[in-house]
Structure 1
Amino acid sequence: MEDTFLCHGIIWNTAGPRLALARPDGTTAAMDVAEGTRLGFRVLEAGRFCLGSHRVQGPQARHHVPCPLQAPAERGYQCISCFLNDDLRFLHDAHRSGSAPDGLRAYLAQPHWLYVATFASGTSKVGTSSDLRKRLRLAEQGAVAARYVARAEDGRIVRVLEDMVSQQTELTQAVRSAAKLSGLQAPRSPAELDSINADHARTVRNLLPGVELEGFAAVDQTWELPEPGRRVIGSDSRTAYPLELAAGTHGLVLEAFLGSIALVRTGEAGPAYLADLNGLKGRRIELGVYQSQLPPVQVSLF
């Protein structure tokens, strides 16, 4: 049981990406996924399991509460009970409803940033990040190019701006993980992605002077893609990992990350693949010396 974990997915901190894990007793762990790391595991059961809930005390204080029943996930990555007890469920609607626990209100009281992010396919979105996670938020998202377009006094104001932008432009507030992965299989050039992002950011900044809302200022700041992400976008590999991560056994050598998408090999000299490790989120896994049983590849004669 020492090597059995519930996977919480890829998280980013100032040191880079890590694989977040929880032991059966609920205590947390994190696995370094630096270049050259070998990740061997088998998925123990079908289906996703609840990742628990959070209690928010302020901008830097958050407490994770493991699911007491270790129940199957029913809504996203949570059971219904943990969803209803999660302070974060109020996060994206507090600016409309006015309802939020005191700790979340304290979190929202810090400065926030409005950004425009562009992904490998050229798909772009508008989003927000807290001041404390200003740059890490975009690294977690898997953006290739991004610009900050406004700084708001708090999280309520920035989400009002976000809603306004998504209503008045073609920018959505979310890009699906599958779309991010497929975009990396046929990416646009970094220069083209930067140009697309700059155009969208300019459009948003041109809207801001007409907004009848106090507590924010327009900005023009460019986000820099972390080095691991540059390695992924610059790789010649355009093939998705051919196995379903949510089942079976896998042995991966990790080379670099763009968000939760890793450039991986199944051996030192084998071909490189693109694998979204958030496919493990909510899965019960056992770490160990496991191998990927890849399907045979038919070589074209022509």
Structure 2
Amino acid sequence: MTIAAGRYLSAGVSWDDAGPYLALRAPEGTSRQVRLDAGTVLSYRILPGDDGALRHCLGSVKVQDRYTRIAEPCPVHSAAERGYQCGSCFARDDWRLVHNVHRSGIAPPGLKLYLDQPHWLYIATFADGTSKVGTAADGRKRLRLVEQGAVAARYVARADDGRVVRILEDLVTAEAGLVQAVRAGTKAAALAQPLAEADLDRINSRHAARVRELLTGLDISGFAVEAETFHRPDQARAVLGASGVVAYPLDPGTGEHAMVIEAMVGAAALVTVEGSDTPFLADLARLKGRRLHLGSYSTRLPALQTALF
């Protein structure tokens, strides 16, 4: 499957029930989803801004209710200053408030509607055994973990709303020492040399049991301890079971590339490249905030890497 040519701003890799896709925005502001199914040829060149910037503002988000978020493009097409936003778009963004709402109490009406739904607390473990605590709204309970690239995960609590679940998340970090974020690059690199699946499941099970024990003794209302296992997409097994895999030797976020998607875990793609029999793991999270041109390009493997293969 070959993707039609064009210039786009990439909002990164997302998943829906059909699988992974690259979220793109055309110059006129229209959105497009490019499926990243097995066999897709992803061929592109990264386009720097006039000032040489590689990371561009993705605009702001207005939360309407628990189901609807409206993405508003950056009106001046700025370079990103903070994460994937310029200062003005960051100030306008509703979603930035969600992470601190349980402390500040500040939320616009639409965000309040989003928060007023059940949320889940989960423990996710990645390919090298690194584990984190996180939250997911009820409607994206599974897809949240799929997008995170979890290799093993368990849900440990169901909270009445998004405020309570974030109180629990902070408490688990403070008491159990589990972080709330793991870099995309770390997750992708770990997939090149994953621990055995049984070991990863044991690591996750141990963390989850400890957290459930911690939560059981809390004097906090508005949640129930749960014991439910996350089931990852079938294509994850193709990534974890691939032999001879090495990290993609170039930065997908600069230059030009052509790769064939074989399978994905989160934003990490198992890919092949013309001229090499080696399977690579590419961190496609590097495309978020990049302007790119989809067209006829190629991956030029470094000379040393080519010799090794």
TM-score class, shorter: over 0.9
Unmatched tracts of structure 1, length 5 or more: none
Structure 2 counterpart of 1:16, which letter? G
Aligned to 1:285: 292
C-alpha deviation, 1:243, in angstroms? 1.1
Aligned to 1:197: 204
C-alpha deviation, 1:186, in angstroms? 2.1
Preserved CA contact (<8 Å) 2:47 2:54:
no
Q: Which residue of 268, 274, 279 corresponds with 1:267? A: 274
Matches of 1:163 and 1:78 in 2, distance apart?
25
Aligned to 2:18: 15
C-alpha deviation, 1:180, in angstroms? 0.8
Aligned to 1:116: 123
Under a length normalisation based on structure 2, what TM-score does the superposition of the two structures give? 0.94
Aligned to 1:37: 40
Is 1:81 equivalent to 2:84 in the alignment? no
Preserved CA contact (<8 Å) 1:253 1:268:
no
Provide the alpha-carbon RMSD of the alignment: 1.4
Matches of 2:267 and 2:151 in 1, distance apart?
13
Matches of 2:262 and 2:28 in 1, distance apart?
31
Matches of 1:29 and 1:182 in 2, distance apart?
28
Structure 2 counterpart of 1:74, which letter? E
Structure 2 counterpart of 1:38, which letter? V
Q: Which residue of 246, 254, 268 corresponds with 1:247? A: 254
Query: What is the percentage of aligned positions where both structures have the same residue?
Result: 51
Preserved CA contact (<8 Å) 2:246 2:278:
no
Q: Which residue of 140, 143, 167 corresponds with 1:136? A: 143
Is 1:67 equivalent to 2:70 in the alignment? no
Q: Which residue of 19, 27, 37 corresponds with 1:24? A: 27
Deviating above 4 A after TM superposition, structure 1's stretches of 4 or more consecutive aligned residues are none
C-alpha deviation, 1:182, in angstroms? 2.2
Aligned to 1:57: 64
Q: Deviations over 1:233-263 (max 9, x none)?
A: 1111431111111221111100111000000
Preserved CA contact (<8 Å) 2:5 2:294:
no
Aligned to 2:173: 166
How many residues are paired up? 300
Matches of 1:213 and 1:288 in 2, distance apart?
55
Matches of 1:155 and 1:237 in 2, distance apart?
42
Is 1:4 equivalent to 2:7 in the alignment? yes
Structure 2 counterpart of 1:247, which letter? T
